[in-house]
Amino acid sequence: MRNLLVVLVIVIGGLLVSGAALAADGQGLYTTAEQANLATAQACFNAFTSGDMDSFFATLDDNVVWEVNGSPDFVPTHGKWEGIDAVRDWVGLVDSELEFLDFAADNYYVDGDTVIVVCHERNRVKATNKTIDEREVFLLTFTNGKIAHFLIFDDSAQEHWALQPESQSLSAG
């Protein structure tokens, strides 16, 4: 896991350096396809945050692979879902467990068929009333103008802690 995070930091760092001359609004040096992928990624996040789930699902390929890095044994919303119906199930699972207090995309980085989105998120776990305040990185891969693979890297340790009842909370001692 640590090696994966190091690789991710190197990849993002490389994109930040190589993408420094690119306009943040999708204009400038992006290709037409990259501009379209960026617009779709932004539409996906805007739809999700506004609760427009029809528009959200419209940005996804019918055979989308949706992954949240980590084990569902520790965090039920982690794992892999394949296809639109499975992603609908995932959204329902998230909705049953979390109350979104804040969620926003902070930065987008585009390289060909890949869009990296850096986000912040603040949620309340419904079962424990604990708050999760985390930064996340989403790696979106596009095929034919739609999101074909959506990979989420988040703070699974914090999420696991927040899911635990007080009597089972992690302790530093």
pTM to 2 decimal places: 0.80
What is the pLDDT confidence band of residue 22, given thresholds at 50, 70 and 90?
very low
Task: Give percent of the chain above pLDDT 70.
Answer: 80
Q: What is the rounded end-to-end Cα distance, in angstroms, of the chain?
A: 24
Q: Cβ neighbours of residue 14 under 8 Å, at least 6 residues apart?
A: none
d(CA 56, CA 73): 27
Q: Is the pLDDT of residue 27 over 70?
A: no
Q: Is the pLDDT of residue 107 over 90?
A: yes
Q: Is the pLDDT of residue 42 over 70?
A: yes
Q: Domains, the chain, ranges and CATH?
A: 2-165 (3.10.450.50)
124-169 pLDDT, tens digit per residue, is 999 999 999 999 999 999 999 999 999 999 999 999 999 999 865 4
